[in-house]
Structure 1
Amino acid sequence: MSSSNSWHALESDPDLWRVYMEKLGVDINSLDFIEIYSLDEDYSFNETIYSYIFLYPDSGLSSISNVYQPLIDEKLWTIKQIDELDCCCCLIALLHAIGNNLDKVILKPNSPLAEFFEKTKTMTADERALVLLNDKKIHQAHEEIAAQGQTQMVDSGKVGYHYTAYIVSNSNKLYELNGSKKGPQAKFIGELNNESFFSRVTQEMPKDRQSTIRYRQGTKNKQQIPSSRETKIEKNESYSQLNSLAYILVLLIIALIISYLHFSYIYELFENDKHFSHLSTLERELSFRTEMGLYYSYFKQIAIESSSFIQGFLSIISDNRTEAPTTINVLERFNLYPEVLLSLIYRIMNSQGILTEICYRVDRGETMSSVLSCEGHKEPTYFYVTSVFILNGFLLGILFLFGTYLSKSILGGIITTFAYIFNHGEATRVMWTPPLRESFSFPFHVLQLFVITYILQQQQTLTNIDAMKSFIGYIKKHDQSIHVDIPQNLISHRHKIKLVLMLIGSTILYMLPWQFAQFTLATQLLSLGLLYIVNLLPFHQFFFILCAQILSLIISAMLMFGNRMLLTSLFSITLFSFYFVCILDKFFLNSSSSFQSYRLLIIIIIRRMILFLFSFILIKFVIINFLFSSTDDDAHIWDILKSKFSSTFRTFDTQLYTCAKEFDFIDMETITNLCRTGLIPLSMIIICRLIYDFIIDIFRKDNYQYKQIWNYYHIIQTGAYIFIGLLIMRLKLFPVPQLCLLMSLFMNEQLWPRKFIVWKKFKFIVFLLILIGMSIQGRKNIKEQLKIKGEYSNYPMEKMIEWINLNTQNESIFAGTMPTMANLKLSTGRRIIVHPHYEHRKIRHRVKLVYRMFSRNSLRYIHSILKQYQVNYYVYESHWCTITNRPKGCSFPEMYDIDEQDQKILTRTTLACHTLESHPQPYFKKIFNYDYLSIYEVL
C-alpha cells in the first residue's frame, strides 16, 4: 500500500464502529455490531444477518486472486480503495456492507452517509473513491474515531491487517467485496441454497480471520452463543473491563495524591501566615475577621454551646442574637449548611472519642499574658479549618480528572494541575480566609462544570422529547418502551437517572453554601442558551439540563426555607425564561431539524432571542413583582455593576463595596502575573482555535454532527468569567481555574493540525515545552507564597472581648462596625444589630443607620437610631472616623453626602464621631477604652 497520512486505520472494535456509524448518520436501531472470535460451526445466530466483515493479516491476501472477474448479471454497490485511502479498508468494508443493504439500514435525512450514497449512486467505484477522499464530514468523523481507539494510530504500510465484506444480494447470491482489488471489487462466491450465510462464508475463509459485524432489522433479541464460545468472549470482555478499571483506578490514585499534596500545601500556607498552631482559642476566633467570624459562630453555637445538635439547629432557625431585637431564620437568610453539616460531624466524632487535643501554654512576651493553646481536631477551630482544607484539597484532584477528561489525555490533566499551582495566588484565597462561603462552594462548582461537560458529550441523552410534558413524565413515558437489550449507544433509563442525580446533586452542593453561586449559574444558563439559540446545542440536551436545574432550584429553595433572594435571582429568571423558550419553540419548528438555508437559521436565531427577552421581561417585571412584595435583596449587586460603567452613578452601598480593593477592577499586576506564567497567552491560543471552530459550526447544516459543543460551552463560559473577573477582582477565582482547565486542550489531538496527529513525539514535546515555560515563573510564585510568614495578634480586641464577657449581661445588645460585631458575637455570644452578611435590604438599611456615627449627622440623631433598636452599648473604633487615609469619595462623610438632601447637614464640618469623642454626654457614656477601641453605654 502507498503512503498517505490523511486517513488512519480503525480498530476492530464494535463499540467504536457503532459510534462511528452513528456520527455519520446511521440509525443504530436498524443495525447492531457484534464481535466473534472463532469460525466454529457451533456458533450460530437466531436472527437475519446482512453482512460479515472479516479482519485478517495482509498475508491472507495471497490465498485470494489479485484480480476479480467482472460481474455480468448483477449490479452491486462497490467502491475502490485508491492509494490515498490505503488505510481505509475498514471504512471501505463498512460502506460495502451498508451500501448493499440500504433497504434495511436506516440513514438519517441530510446525514453525511445519506448525502454520500445519494451523490454517488450512479457513479463508478473509482469515482466514489474520489468523492469519499474529498468528503470532509466523513473524514473528520473518521479521524475522531481513529484517535479514540485503545491502540496507537499508525501510518500507512504499518497496519498489517485488511478488511473485506461479505454480502448476500437480492437474488440470494453470496459475494466477497474487497476495495483493494485492481479490477472489480466484487467476487461471486456462489448461491445460498439450504445452507446458512455464516456456514457458507466459513467455507471460504481461513480460521484465523477473527472479526465480524452483522446487521439486523430492529430486533432486540439476545444472541444464543454456545457455551464454549461464551467462555472465550467473556474472557475477552473481562480483560477489557479489567483494563478500563485499572486505568480508572490509576487516575483516581493520581487524583488522590494530588488532592493530599494540595491539602498539605494550603495548610502550610495558612499556618505560615497566622502561626495558627500557637494561638489561643480566642486568638484563633478573632483571626476569623468580618463575615468569617459570623459564619464560624454558628458552627460554634451548634457544635459546642448547644446541649444537642437538634437544640443547636433549632436555635439558628429562630435566632434573636444576629439582628437584635428581631428574630430571624438564619438558615433562610444565610448560607449555613456547611456549618450545620460540620457541627453534626464534629458532635458524632467527638462522642465516639475520635477527636483528640494536646494543650500547652504559650508565652507571648513581657507585655502580654501567656495563653493556653490546644492542638488537635477536638479543638473546634482546628476541626473547622482542616475540614475546609480537605475539601479544597480535593478541588485540585477534581481539576486533574476534569482536565484529563476534557483533553482525553492524562497529560492534559497534569497541565491543568501545574497551571493551577503555578497561579495559585491568583486562583484562590482559601489559605488566607478558610471560612468564606466560596471555600465551601467552589470545589462543587468545578464538579458541577464537570457534570455539565459530561452531559453535553452524551449526544443521545434524551430523544423525541415532548416539551409539553413534565420532566418526570417524559422519562416514564419514553423509557417504558425500551427493551432490556437496547443498543449500547442509547442511554438507559438508569443512566438518565444517574445524570439527573449527578447534575442536581452537584448544583445543590454548589448553591447551598454561597449566595453568589446563583449568579454564576445564570451565566452558565446564558452560555448554554446561546449555544441553543444558534442551534449548536440540541433541544433534547438543553431541555434535559433545564429540567434538572429547575429541580435543583426547587430543592435548594426548600432547604433554605424559601429564600427570596434565590427565588427572585437572575438564575431563576433565566432558567424559566429558557424553559418557556423551549416550550414555545416547539410550536414553530422541530428544534432538532436541520436547517436548509442560512436565512432560515437567522430567522430561528432571531425568534429564539425575541422569545427569551420577552420571557425574561415578563418574569422579572410582572410575575415576580406580583408574587413577591419586595424583590430588591440583590439590588446592591446591580448597583455595583451599574457604578462600574458609570462614573456618575454612586450610592452608599456601591461605595462601601467598590472602595474595598477586592471589589475594584482587576489590577494590572494580576494580569501581568498571569502572563508571566504563560496562562493568559497559552489559553488565548486555545480560545482562538475554538472560536474559529465555533463560528464555522454555526453555519453547518449537518445535524449536530462533529460539533464539540462542550468545548464551545467552555469558551463562552470562560468569556463570562473573564468579564466578571475584570469587573470585580475578588471574582478572579472563576476565570483563573477556568483558563487552567482550557490549558489541558493542548493535549487534545482533535485540535491539532492533521499533519501532527501521526507524530506521537509531537504531543510529548508540546507537553514538556508548556510545563517548562510555565515553571520558569511558576516556581518563583510557589517560593514567594511559602516565604510569607506572619503571626496573628490583635491584643486590643482581646482586651475588649475579655471586658465584655466580665462586665456585660448575656442579653445585652451591641452596635458598631460590621467586622467587629461579627467577632463580638462569635467570642462573647452577645446580641448584635448589624453583621457583614450584606445580601438583604433590611440589613443594608440597618448598616446605613448605624454607620451614621461617621457622618455629619448630630449625635442626638444617632442616639435616637440606637434606642430604636434597643442598643445597650456602642463599640467605637477611632480609625474609622478619619478622612485622610482613604481614597477620594471613600470616607464615610463623603459616602453619606451622596444621598444627603439637607443642606444644613452638608455644610457641617463636625462629624458625629468627633462629638462622641469630645462630648458624649448626655447621650453616651464611655465605659471602656484600650488603644483604638472604646465602648460607650447608650444612655
Structure 2
Amino acid sequence: MFTAGKEHSVRQRKKNVGHSSQNENSGSRTVQGRKKIPKEVDSAPSDQPFFMQLLKPTFALFLCMLVGAFYGWYIYQLHDNYLWFSHITELEREISFRTECGLYYSYFKQLIHSPSLIRGIYDLTVDNSTENGHSINILHRFNIYQEVLLAIIYRGFEGWNFASPAIFYSKVVFSVGGLGASALCLIAYFVSNSILAILVCGMFCLTNLSDMTRAHFVVNLREHFALPMFWLQILFVCVYLKSVTYDAVSRVGKNCIRFCIFWFTFLFMLMWQFNQFAMLFQAMAIYALSVLKLITLEKAVLLFFIHLGALVAVFVLQFFPKMLLSSILVTFNLSALFSLYLFRRSTHSGGVVAGFCKLATQILITIITMVLFTFLLKRLLGVESDDHIFKFLLGKFGFSNVRDFESRVYLCHDAFSFLSNDFFLHTSKTFLFPLYLTMFSGCLFVIGKDLLTQWCDLASLSNNKYRQFFTTDYFERRADLAFLVLQSVIIGLVSLMVTRISYMWSPLMAVLATALLCCEDIWKTLPGFRNRRQYIQMFQLSVIVAILGYNSVLFYNRFQEEMKDLREFWDPDTVNLMEWINNTTAPYASFAGSMQLMAGVKCCTSRPITNHPHFENKQLRDRTKDIYQIYARRSAEDVYNILKKYNTNYIILEDSICRAKRSGCTIPELIDLENGHAPDSRHLWMSMGLVQSKERRFCTAIENMDESFARYFRDINLANMLYV
C-alpha cells in the first residue's frame, strides 16, 4: 500500500497554557533411553473451590480491560490534542484522514449517506468513481468490510444522536486499538501466570507508544483494525500449543479454542491487504516448532489448515480475488504440509552431522516446493497484481531495475525503509529491547541445546551430573513461549528491512520482555532455584517493581508534556480547494493528480477520481504511471491525450511535488527514470540507457500557458488546477 503524502500543517492553539514541542513523527515425545520427566507440580489440577479458581483469571481479564480502555483513551487524546479534532469542521476532519485513510473513510461516508444500506453496498460492487472510466468492485479490490460493519452500526443507532460520522469513526478505531492492548496484556498474563505481567506489559505499550502504533496520527490504516485481531488469534494459538492448559480442557472447550483461532484468523485476514505476509511469519514459526519436534504433527497440521480455511473464507467474501489463491502464504502452507508428511517418521538422533543434514534437507525441500507452487499458481491464474512486492524485495538488496517506478515508489517511502537506529534507542531507554534481547537469546540457546541433545542422544547419559542439563523437556511443555519467540524473531528480521513491520514486532517484544520479568516458570530454570527459591523470588519481584516504577516515571513526565501541547489542524489551501470543488464543479466531473490528493478529493467531495493510493493492482499502477506524466518532460498534447484516455476533466498540480528538492526520490525523478529520461539529479544515477529529453517539464512549463498549452488546457487560477 502506498501511503506517502504531504503532511497537513498544525499550529499551536491560542490557549493560555504552556506549550512544548512534540515530535511526530506440545505434545509429548519419547526418546530412547530417556525417562519421562514428570510435569511441574503447578500444572496439576487445583483442589481449590471452583469460585476461587475463577477469581484470579476474572480479575486479570478486568485489569486487562482497564489497561485497554486507558490505552484507547490515551491515543484518542493525543489525536485530539494534535488536530483539535473534536472542534474543527467536518470538512477539516475529512481532510485530516491522510492519503489512503481518506479513501477508506469515503466508503464509510458513502454507505451512511446512501438511501439504503443495501443500495449502498450494491453501489460499492459496481463503483465507477474510484477509477473513473473503469467499473470496479470495491469489496473485491479493497479490505473495507470494517467500514461496512461500522456503517451498519451507525445507521442502526442513528436515533441515538451519535457524534459526527468522522468522530464516531475515529473513536471506534481508537477503541479497537484499546482492544489490541488488552489482548497483548492477556497474552502476557497467560504465558507468565502473573497479575503483575498485565501492568508491566501495559506500561511497555504506553512508554513505547510511537513504536507500537500510528493510530494517533494516521487513524484508519488497515493494520489498526487488523492487528488487534492478530493479537487475539495469537492468544488462542498459545492456549492451543501449551499442552498443560489445552489437555486439561474439555472436548467442548477444545473445539471453542480451535474455533476462536479460526475466527480471529479470518477477521485479521479480512481486514488487511498485507495479511498474507503476517500469517506467513506465523506459519514459518509453526513449521519450525514442528520440525524441531516441540509440537506434534497433528497440532501443526491443524493450524496450517486453519490458515488455509480462513483464507478460503476471505477469498469467497471478497468475490474471489485470484491474488489470494496465489499468495505466498498458500504455497508455503502447502509446501510445509508436504514436507512434514514426507518426514513424519524422521528423528533427530544419529549424531550432529546426520541430524543437521536431515534438518537442512527438510527445509530445502520445503523452499523448493514453495517456489514451484508459487510459479505454477501464478502461471495458471495469470496473477500480476503482486509483482511489485517481489520487485521491491529484490530492490532492497540491489537486484531490481533502478528505473522501475513501481518498486522505487516503495523503496523511497519511509515506511518501507530499513529500520533506523532510533528504534533501538527508544526501546532501550525503556529497557524493552534489552529485556527482549535477553529473553530471545536465552530461548534460542535452550532450543539449540535441546536440538544438540537430541542429535547426540545426550539425554540418555547415565551420569546424573549432566542428566539434568541435557533434558529436552522445557519447550515441549512451553511450546507457547517457543512459538512467541520464533515468531518474533522472524518478524524482527523482516522489520530490520521494512520499518512498517516493526509495528508488529514491538508488541511481541513487550509480551516477551514481560514474560522474562514475570514468568516464575522461567526463573525456575536458574541454577540453584530450589535451594534459593525465596531469595530468587525476592530478586524477581524487586526487578519487576524497579522496571515498572522507572517506566511509570518516564510515562508520567511525557504524559504531562503531551497534555499541555495543544495544537490545531491548519491547511487553509486544501480547505479552499475542497470547498471550490464542492460548490463549483459538477458531481460527475473527474479529477487527476497525485495519489494522496485524489484520495482526499474522493473523501471530501465524492467526485470521480482517476487514480488513488491503493497500489496493489497492476492496472491501477499502470494508470498511475500514466497520470503522473503531468510531472514528466512531456508535451501538452501527449499529456492531454493521456488524460482524455481516462475521461479526466480537471488536473491538480502540486508545487510541493513539482518543485520538490531533487533527492533521487521525488515523483518527477521517478517518472523521468521510468520514461528513460535523465532526471534533474542525473549525477545520482547511472547514465546507462537514459537520454536527455528536449521537452520542458509539463508542471512548470504550463505556468506560462503559451499557445501550445492553451489549446488543450484552461487555467482555473485556484491551487494550480487546470481544466482539460
Pick closer, same or farther for the CA change 1:723–1:599 going to 2, 3 Å. closer
Structure 1, 542-551 or 747-756: larger mean CA deviation: 747-756
Q: Does 1:916 align with 2:702?
A: yes
Structure 1: how far apart are the matches of 2:172 and 2:676? Answer: 50
Cα deviations across residues 94-151 of structure 1 (Å, max 9, x unaligned)?
xxxxxxxxxxxxxx6747447xxxxxxxxxxxxxxxxxxxxxxx3xx45xx1344699
Is the 8 Å Cα contact of residues 239 and 245 (structure 2) preserved in structure 1? no
What secondary structure does 1:879 align onto?
helix
Counterpart of 2:183 in structure 1 is: 398
Q: Which has the higher helix share?
A: 2
Which one of 84, 96, 101 corresponds to residue 287 of structure 1? 96
Alpha-carbon deviation of 1:775?
4.0
Task: Write out aligned runs for 1:752-763 (5 A).
Answer: 752=523, 753-756=526-529, 758-759=533-534, 760-763=537-540
Higher relative contact order (Cα pairs below 8 Å, separated by 6+ residues): 2
Residue number in structure 2 paired with 1:515 = 273
Q: 1:572: Cα distance to partner?
A: 1.6
* 2:66 corresponds to 1:257: yes
Question: 1:618 is matched with which residue: 363, 372, 382?
Answer: 372
1:677–1:775 CA contact under 8 A, matched in 2: no
After superposition, what is the alpha-carbon deviation per residue over 1:50-87, rounded to whole angstroms, capped at 9, x for unaligned?
xxxxxxxxxxxxxxxxxxxxxxxxxxxxxxxxxxxxxx
Distance (whole Å) between structure 2 residues aligned to residue 579 and residue 492 of structure 1: 28
Q: 1:864: how far off?
A: 0.8
**d(CA) in 1 for partners of 2:287 and 2:259?**
22
SS of the residue aligned with 2:295?
coil
Counterpart residue type for residue 497 of structure 2: L
1:410/1:459 CA distance change after superposition, 3 Å: closer
Q: Is the contact made by 1:395 and 1:446 (CA closer than 8 Å) also made in structure 2?
A: yes
1:761 CA drift (Å): 2.0
Task: Give the match for residue 423 of structure 2.
Answer: 670
**2:173 matches 1:388:** yes
**Alpha carbons 2:63, 2:198 under 8 Å: kept:** no
Match among 870, 876, 882 for residue 653 of structure 2: 876
Match of 1:580 in 2: 338
1:711 and 2:519 matched? no
Q: Distance in 1 between matches of 2:273 and 2:105?
A: 17
Instruction: Confirm or deny that 1:659 pairs with 2:412.
Output: yes
- Equivalent residues in 2 for 1:469-868, closer than 5 Å: 489=247, 493-586=251-344, 589=345, 595=349, 598=352, 601-626=355-380, 628-629=381-382, 631-646=383-398, 649-650=401-402, 651-701=404-454, 705-707=473-475, 708-745=478-515, 746-752=517-523, 753-756=526-529, 758-759=533-534, 760-775=537-552, 777-868=554-645
Q: State the shift of 1:349 in Å.
A: 0.9
By how many angstroms is 1:783 displaced?
4.2
Name the CA distance, whole Å, in 1 between partners of 2:102 and 2:645.
Answer: 26
Q: C-alpha offsets along residues 824-846 of structure 1, whole Å, 9 cap, x if unaligned?
A: 11121111110111111111111
2:111/2:117 contact within 8 Å kept: yes
CA, structure 1 residues 456+717, in 2 after alignment: closer, same or farther (shift >3 Å)? same
Cα drift, residue 623 of structure 1: 3.3
Match of 1:47 in 2: none
Cα shift readout 1:393-426 (whole Å, capped 9, x = no counterpart)? 1211111111011112112222111111111122
In the alignment, what sits opposite 1:926?
715
AA matched with 1:908:
K
Shift of 1:649: 4.3
Moved more, 765-774 or 277-286: 765-774
Q: Would you say the 8 A contact 1:299–1:339 is kept in 2?
A: yes
CA contact (8 A) 1:24 1:113 kept: no
Q: For 1:608, give the aligned amino acid.
A: Q
Compared CA separation, residues 23 and 858, structure 1 to 2 (3 A): closer
Mark the CA change 1:904 to 1:113 in structure 2 (over 3 Å): closer, same or farther: closer
User: Structure 1 residue 595: deviation in Å?
Assistant: 4.0
Q: Which has the larger radius of gyration?
A: 1
Q: Quick check: 1:873–1:937 contact (8 Å CA) kept in 2?
A: yes
Deviation at 1:806, TM superposition (A): 2.3
Matches of 1:765 and 1:696 in 2, distance apart? 30
Q: Call closer, same or farther: CA 1:860–1:459 in 2, change over 3 Å.
A: farther
Measure how far apart 1:784 and its partner are.
4.7
Instruction: Read off the aligned partner of 1:927 and give its amino acid letter.
Output: I
Structure 2 Cα separation of the partners of residues 594 and 876 of structure 1: 64
Structure 2 runs not aligned, ≥5 long: 1-25, 460-470, 678-688
Q: Quick one: distance in 1 between partners of 2:245 and 2:341?
A: 20
The TM-score normalised by the length of structure 1 is: 0.67
Aligned 8 A contact 2:229 2:268 in 1: yes
Cα-to-partner distance string for 1:620-667 (whole Å, 9 max, x where unaligned): 1123312x12x2312222222222221874222233233232322222
- Aligned residues of 1:23 and 1:706 also touching (Cα < 8 A): no
- Cα distance in 2 for partners of 1:726, 1:113 equals 42
| Cα distance in 1 between the residues matched to 2:64 and 2:399 | 47
| Correspondences of 1:307-386 after superposition (within 5 Å) | 307-350=115-158, 353-354=159-160, 356=161, 377-386=162-171
Unpaired segments ≥5 residues, structure 1: 1-21, 26-107, 115-137, 152-236, 357-376, 462-488
Partner of 2:18: none
Q: 1:24 to 1:726 in 2, by over 3 A?
A: closer
Decide whether the 8 Å contact of 2:64 with 2:183 is kept in 1.
Answer: yes
Is 1:241 aligned to residue 50 of structure 2? yes
Change (3 A) 1:623 1:648: closer
- Structure 2 CA distance, aligned partners of 1:740 and 1:490? 28
How far the C-alpha of 1:711 sits from its partner, in A, is: 1.8
Question: Aligned with 2:586: secondary structure?
Answer: coil
How far apart in 1 are the matches of 2:563 and 2:494? 29
Deviation at 1:683, TM superposition (A): 1.4
| Counterpart AA for 2:664 | G
SS class of match (1:936): strand
- In 1, the alpha carbon distance for the partners of 2:167 and 2:33 equals 60
Q: Which amino acid aligns with 2:364?
A: I
2-side partners of 1:555 and 1:276: how far apart? 37
Question: In 1, are the aligned partners of 2:327 and 2:374 still within 8 Å (CA)?
Answer: no
Contact 1:411 1:744 in 2 (8 A): no
The C-alpha deviation readout for 1:253-284, integer Å capped at 9, x for no partner, is 11121122112111111110110111111111
1:789 to 1:506, Cα distance in 2 relative to 1, 3 A = same
Q: 1:826 to 1:111 in 2, by over 3 A?
A: farther
Correspondence for 1:374: none
Q: Alpha carbons of 1:535 and 1:607: their partners in 2 closer, same or farther (altered >3 Å)?
A: farther
Partner amino acid, structure 1, of 2:57: I
Q: Deviations over 1:711-734 (max 9, x none)?
A: 222222112222222222232211
Q: Distance in 2 between matches of 1:453 and 1:528?
A: 11
Q: CA RMSD in A?
A: 2.5
> Aligned-pair distance for 1:384?
0.5
Q: Is the 8 A contact 1:425 1:785 kept in 2?
A: no
The number of aligned residues is 660
1:347 is matched by which residue type in structure 2?
A: R
CA distance in 2, matches of 1:416, 1:458: 24
Cα distance change, pair 552–866 in 1 and its aligned pair in 2 (3 A): same
Sort the Cα spacing of 1:576 and 1:516 in 2 relative to 1 into closer, same or farther, 3 A. Answer: same
Query: Which amino acid is the alignment partner of residue 135 of structure 2?
Result: T
